[in-house]
Structure 1
Amino acid sequence: MGFWNQLDSFFAESTMAKEHSPARKMILILLFFILNTIILSMDFLPDYLSLSVGQVSDRDVVAPRTVSFVDEPRTKKLEAEVLSGVANVYDLDTGAAVTAEDGVSRIFRAVRAVQADKSLKTPDERLNRLKGMMTGLLPEKTITLLPLITSAEVDQLEENARTILRKYLYRGIRDEELEGIRRQAGSDIEKLGFGVTGSQILTDVIQPQLRPNFVLNQRETELRRQAALRKMEPIRITVKSGQIVVRRGDVVTEEQVQMMMELGLHKAETGIARILGLSLYVLLIMGAMLLSLQRFFPAVFADDRRLLLVSLILLLALAIGRVGHYYSDFVTPIAVGPLLTAILVNPTAAMMVSTMTALFFGIIAEQNVRVFSFVLIGSFAGIFCLAQSGRRHSLVRAGIWVALANVATVITTGLIEEIEYRQILTDSLLGAVGGVGAAILAIGLLPYLEQSFRITTSENLLNLARPNHPLLQRLLLEAPGTYYHSILVGNLAETAADQIGADPVLSRVGAYYHDVGKIQRPFFFVENQANMENPHTKLSPSLSTMIITSHIRDGLEFCREFKLPEVIADIVGQHHGTSLVSYFYKQAAEGEHGECIIEEDFRYEGPKPQTKEAALIMLADSCEAAVRAIGNPNVTRIENTVRRIINERLRDGQLNECDLTLRDLNMIGDIFIRVLCSTCHSRVEYPVDAIRDLERRRPRNGNGNKPGAGKALVAVENRGNTADCAAKNGGVAETGG
């Protein structure tokens, strides 16, 4: 992390200063221009490689880098060998076992029927009947044995026949196993000890039913063949950096030409004009980028740290593209740049980065319009996905979107250019891999970029929300009333944030810390006073105002001490804006020197809320405290209080510098009212003494088991419930509230 620490110290002064150094910004822009030009011009090599097949080389050609490519003829031969080694897949036909058992049942059912037929008087009649029923099922010799067995033996034989059939058929029989299985079944029959007659009958009943019951599964066999092909590594030719591809005096072969092409060496001669044209091209695109940043993203342009972040992301994407170009333009995870920008800056800036990436990568890919479309459309798809949530856990889904967009772009552009179907399929698969790879790479790089550039993400905020954070622990122990107030404010702010397009996590965590400054003097705030005397009764209104408003400065000091993110410190400093401490202002105005009172002396220092989240916490803070102060809250009182506070903040201009709309304020009011009504409405105070008196009198009056005795209690309970329900529905009835 030494490099990142040096970068951090280099830009720390600039980041904290209000005026950013123009010289530092120019250095950054110049470095970006130089590095970008170097990356793009790496293919512009002198042309000593205009060699063709059969030509005698007049020099040694040395590989400038290591490259590997597929040897197609040998790979196809290997595929055939792999497929021949994949065994066929067979499925067990359990229906064969059921059919076999049905056949056994039919035989023994016929024997029982003949035994039970009283019309058959003689053994010959029974035998003739059995022959008529068993023809084709059993040998005639075996049929003659059937009249000799008893009914009990019939049951035993049938049960054992079923058992033996199940043993082998449910396990499965292959063609090559059939003879061995039949011998094993014969051994099983001998072990049963039925004697010659019973064993012969069992053998002739079972043996015909033992048949192969494995069926070829063509689909699964094909899937395994394809899986084997996927596992197969294609035969690759690797040319190592420094290896001599063609020696001086050698006749150039087709394989050597292919090596030079894969190395990117077989190009036209490079001239000064190409380098100059490339430099101007880079300047043109950079100028467009800087003007766009200055016009549409002034915060990014003014912040050297964020400008450096965007520049590094773009250079990283191009460096990855440069490496990937030596293998395939489509497998390159170049969308990692736009994905990182969408998460760390914003989706709109990411669209600009994706456009620049596509323009620059088009140079690397030899002005290939197909590759330009591939980069641009795939990146836009990932940005669109992240724009829906902007959270790290969405990166995997964004990678899938990029992969799908890559595949669609490769297929459509391939069809337009009439590229071979096999090549389109290969490029599509590579594009899918590149899309998923971009997401994986982004996930891996995010923690380093977040730490190095002090970027606050949802994961960082959730860590701050843990109750065991040292500052929250201090707030709980030293200002418990403020702590629980902050939890309630967090619930209000988070619920409303989700509905108005603000960040719910930032709203909740910001609310947890918004009043940490009260730790310094907790007992000067009413929520921490419990039953103690209010110290403000002994102070002048102006001094009380100074103490109350100082919790903002104290809170910012705690933010610095505990190294809380800047977004949290902003909320701490803005959540009261420049609002008036009305209680002490009114007290001072009504005092002896009221005409000399200056209103500005009783206002917070500000600034006013600059974001939706800070404004939400301002409103939630005021509404929760005001509703808690209502003596007997019901729906009407809560609603009136919430609407009044929102209108007061609006009229006072506290919401002028954030982008909340009137529609947002109306939604915020509705949500606050609903949440506060569910947590702060009054409860009915049941007439406990009357109930106890009723309980005492009931046994004495002898009404303990009579229906009327319970009606009084039910009436009291229902009366309380009615009052409670009425209070929830507008306070029409406030009985016992």
Structure 2
Amino acid sequence: MGKTLDDFYKKQSVIYKYVLYFISIALIVFFFPRGGKFKYDFQKGKPWQYENLYAPFDFSIKKTDEDISAERKLLESNKADYYTFDQQVYQEVLNKYEVNFKSAFSSDALSTSERNKLYSAGKAVLDSIYKDGLFKEQIGSDEVFLIRNNTARTIPQNSIKYVSNSNTFIASYIDNFRLGANKAELVRVLNSVIKANVTYNKSLSDKALQEELSKVSFTRGNILEGKLVIAKGEVVESDNYNILNSLKQEYESELWKGSNYYFILFGYTVLVALVLVMLFLFLKKYRPEIFANNNKVTFIFVNILLMVFVTTLVVKNNENYVYVVPLCILPLILKNFFDARLGLFVHVLTILILGFVVPNSFEYIFLQIIAGIVTILSVSELYKRANLFISVGQITFIYIVGYFAFHIIHEGNLDNIEWVTFGIFLLNGMITLFAQPLIYLYEKIFGLVSDVSLLELSDTNSKLLKELSNKAPGTFHHSLQVANLAEAAANEIGANAMLVRVGALYHDIGKMNRPAYFTENQITNANPHNELPPKESAKIIIDHVIEGIELARKYNLPDRVIDFLRTHHGTSLVYYFYKKQQEIDEDVDEANFRYPGPIPFSKETAILMMADSVEAASKSLKSPTYGMIDEFVEKIVKGQMQANQYLNANITFKEIEAVKKVLKQKLTNIYHLRVEYPE
């Protein structure tokens, strides 16, 4: 049992990677939309590259969304409007007419027969006007249905009467009667009682429209099994493109049914597993330090899963907005935390996974890979805000140009270009700007360090560096000089200059606890080491590394910075006190005079070791010349190499030579050496 537990603890890192691998596969396949994949790839305007394609089964030719939308718009523009005839209003008009007529024609000047004639004429005019009802407002529809007594009948447009034109109708009807001098008064009476009695029936009109819209067919004809769909070499044009799309949709929906479900699921699982295996192999072979760190591996997988999840969510809801997903955030973030090569590799693998589910996969993969390459090439010094805006502008421009080119290839013109897609690309760029707060969030969650954080740490007004400058001003000045030397050397060989500079600024913070025991802080000739045995003096010197690490943890410095504190002396010997101890006792335990290590394990930590040793030793030079500087830099670096201090650092001999060259140039500038002219 105990042996089993020991094996488990030894292999827990590997076991974790297996668990992460299988969980990631399961989640990605789970995110995928439920549908098969058509086995032929085709594009509009391109020739059919396969053998003659015959219909494998009967299927309907589906109309495009544009065709269906056009039909619906046509129905909506030609819809029939229903209006209701209000008999009660008409009766109110007649009652009011009778009252007003009696009031207007009550004099004895008219005989009963003349009054009856006038009344009958007025009522006849009202009957004519209200025969098809009186409408309040203008009608735009070509076809109008009037509902009267629960019966709907069509009203011709030219027979519709409006309240606004009632004077015209009254005048034309009244002329048919010979009324003499009483005509004007009767017209006045009729105008006083006229009122609209036809109202728009919205519910019935909408119901009729919905019935018509529901009759819109989503297909136009059928293709029978065995019929030739497209011949080899035939250009995919508008008609057969629609037929092929219809076959593709039918094929993918049918393929996912029945026992096929499990086979397709298995196929997706295998492909995703292959992609993720490639990622593990890349990390193990080319980024072993990342592969060994489960936190960083988890960070990479979380980013892949996040992009897959967001993209598939958009595809499931509305595939037209697939380019809204800011996929370029992935290489941008990975380059910021790791390096450009890893960022691009992970970006390409993620696109390959998404290629299974997005529409127009070739176009999508092409555009996203090009955009990813532009991201890698353009994004640098992300801590400068302007750089991110410039990079996002370039990425958006590439998307727009790429889409524009694909549209021309497919359509051959600009007639049907969807301008809203350009807006989608602009939105994509705006969301990509969210990379900055996302980087900060990732730093807090995964404990990683970005250039933005390094820039903040490099501020010499920070609390810890302020304390160092107050307690150990000589050490602080030494750290600044080392930072300048190391940064210049890092720039020369393409290492992370910002990281080296920050590491150099903090590498000696452990000297704050006992600053007087370090020569750069001794302002008098009194040396406290003179009162101590060499072994104890060596322990004080060596302990500044351990005490520095403790201080760094107290002030929450990132591990990548603490690495410089651990390694800046490697496992080198405190040579001065070691020799003094040998003078007292020849039988000396060398381990008591060696730094605990570890030795540098990166270019950056190796550069700091060289710069630190060279800068400290340069203080002992008296009246330095070019030859002296050259000789002592060579001597110090050679000694470190012979002591195998750079054995674990991925730095080449060529890069070491470049670093030495920079150190010599910088020290020459520091000591203001001039060319000696002959007398």
What TM-score range do you get, normalising by the shorter chain?
0.5 to 0.7
User: Could you tell me how far 1:18 is from its partner in structure 2?
Assistant: 9.0
Opposite residue 728 of structure 1, the aligned amino acid is R
Return the alpha-carbon distance in structure 2 between the equivalents of residues 503 and 431 of structure 1. Answer: 36
TM-score by length of structure 1 reads 0.58
Residue 39 of structure 1 corresponds to which residue in structure 2? Answer: 31
Q: CA deviation at 1:22?
A: 4.1
Deviation at 1:574, TM superposition (A): 0.3
AA in 2 matched with 1:34: A
> Contact conserved, 2:331 with 2:346, CA < 8 A, in 1?
yes
Choose from 478, 486, 496 the match for 2:479: 486
For 2:496, the aligned partner's letter is D
Cα distance in 1 between the residues matched to 2:282 and 2:26: 21
Q: 1:458 aligns with which of 430, 443, 451?
A: 451
1:282 is aligned to: 272
Q: Report whether the alignment pairs 1:503 with 2:505.
A: no
Distance of aligned partners of 1:667 and 1:356 in 2 relative to their CA distance in 1, 3 Å threshold: closer
Amino acid at match of 2:666: V
Identity of aligned residues (%): 26
1:268 aligned to 2:253?
yes
Query: Mind listing any 5+ residue stretches in structure 2 that lack a counterpart?
Result: 1-8, 38-58, 75-208, 222-241
Matched, 1:680 2:665: no
Separation of aligned partners in 2, 1:256 and 1:321: 32
Distance 1:341 1:458, change over 3 A: closer
CA deviation after TM superposition for structure 1 residue 369, in Å: 1.8
Q: How does 1:371-450 map to 2 (within 5 A)?
A: 371-386=364-379, 393=385, 394-418=387-411, 420-423=413-416, 426=419, 429=422, 432-433=425-426, 436-437=429-430, 439-450=432-443
Inter-partner Cα distance in structure 1 for 2:533 and 2:271: 69
Q: Tell me, what secondary structure is at the counterpart of 1:363?
A: coil
Q: 1:669 to 1:24 in 2, by over 3 A?
A: closer
Amino acid at match of 2:641: L
Shift of 1:362: 1.5
**Distance in 2 separating the partners of 1:323 and 1:397:** 29
How far 1:249 sits from its partner (Å)?
12
The one-letter amino acid of 2:621's match is I
- RMSD value, Cα: 3.9
In structure 2, relative to structure 1, the CA distance for the partners of 1:331 and 1:69 (3 Å cut) is: farther
Partner of 2:234: none
The question of whether the paired residues in 2 share the 8 Å contact of 1:493 and 1:616 is answered with yes
Is the contact between residue 342 and residue 390 of structure 1 (CA under 8 Å) also seen in structure 2?
A: no
Q: Which residue of 2 aligns with 1:593?
A: 585
Equivalent-residue separation in structure 2 for 1:428 and 1:571 (angstroms):
49
Aligned to 2:54: none
Change (3 A) 1:294 1:249: same
Q: Which residue number corresponds to residue 140 of structure 2? A: none
TM alignment of 1:139-538, pairs within 5 A: 250-253=214-217, 268-269=253-254, 270-271=256-257, 272=261, 273-325=263-315, 326=318, 327-366=320-359, 368-386=361-379, 393=385, 394-418=387-411, 420-423=413-416, 426=419, 429=422, 432-433=425-426, 436-437=429-430, 439-538=432-531
Check if 1:665 corresponds to 2:656: yes
Contact 1:635 1:731 (C-alpha < 8 Å) held by counterparts: no
CA distance in 1, matches of 2:212, 2:625: 96
The one-letter amino acid of 1:40's match is F
Find 1:562's aligned residue among 555, 568, 580: 555
Indicate the residue corresponding to 2:624 in structure 1: 633
TM-score for both structures, normalised by structure 2: 0.63
Letter in 2 for 1:305: N
Distance 1:467 1:291, change over 3 A: closer
Bigger relative contact order, structure 1 or 2 (CA pairs below 8 A, ≥6 apart): 2
One-letter amino acid of the structure 1 residue matched with residue 289 of structure 2:
A
Partner of 1:728: 674
What is the one-letter code of the residue matched to 1:520? Answer: N
Residue 29 in structure 1 maps to residue 57 in structure 2 = no
Residue among 633, 644, 660 paired with 1:642: 633
Cα distance in 1 between the residues matched to 2:504 and 2:68: 59
- The whole-number CA distance in structure 2 between the counterparts of 1:334 and 1:69 is 32
User: What letter corresponds to residue 502 of structure 1 in structure 2?
Assistant: A
Question: 1:463 Cα shift?
Answer: 1.5
Give the superposition deviation at 1:529.
1.7
Opposite residue 291 of structure 1, the aligned amino acid is: L
Deviation at 1:383, TM superposition (A): 2.0
Q: Quote the Cα distance in structure 2 between the aligned partners of 1:637 and 1:626.
A: 12
Contact 2:382/2:452, CA 8 A, preserved across alignment: no
In structure 1, give the amino acid aligned to 2:660.
G
Aligned to 1:131: none
1:83: which partner in 2? none
**Letter of the structure 2 residue corresponding to residue 268 of structure 1:** S
Rounded Cα–Cα distance in structure 1 between residues aligned with 2:675 and 2:35: 76
Q: CA deviation at 1:415?
A: 4.8
8 Å contact 2:60–2:219 — kept in the other structure?
no
- Structure 1 residues 282 and 392, CA gap change in structure 2 (3 angstroms): farther
Deviations 1:419-439 (A, max 9, x none): 653456748736743662463
Show the counterpart of 1:622: 613
Count matched residues: 481
Residue pair 2:60, 2:220 contacting (<8 A) in 1 also: no
Q: What SS is found at the alignment partner of 1:728?
A: coil
SS at match of 1:364: coil
Letter in 1 for 2:215: V
The answer for unaligned runs of 5 or more in structure 1 is 1-16, 55-66, 77-244, 682-726
CA contact (8 A) 1:639 1:673 kept: yes
Distance 1:341 1:415, change over 3 A: same
Contact preservation (8 Å) 1:305, 1:453: yes
| Contact 1:486–1:515 (8 Å) recurs in 2 | yes
Displacement after TM superposition at 1:534 (Å): 1.0
Alpha-carbon shift at residue 555 of structure 1 (Å): 0.9
How far, CA to CA, are the matches of 1:333 and 1:581 in structure 2? Answer: 54
Q: Whole-Å Cα distance in 1 between the matches of residues 487 and 367 of structure 2?
A: 39
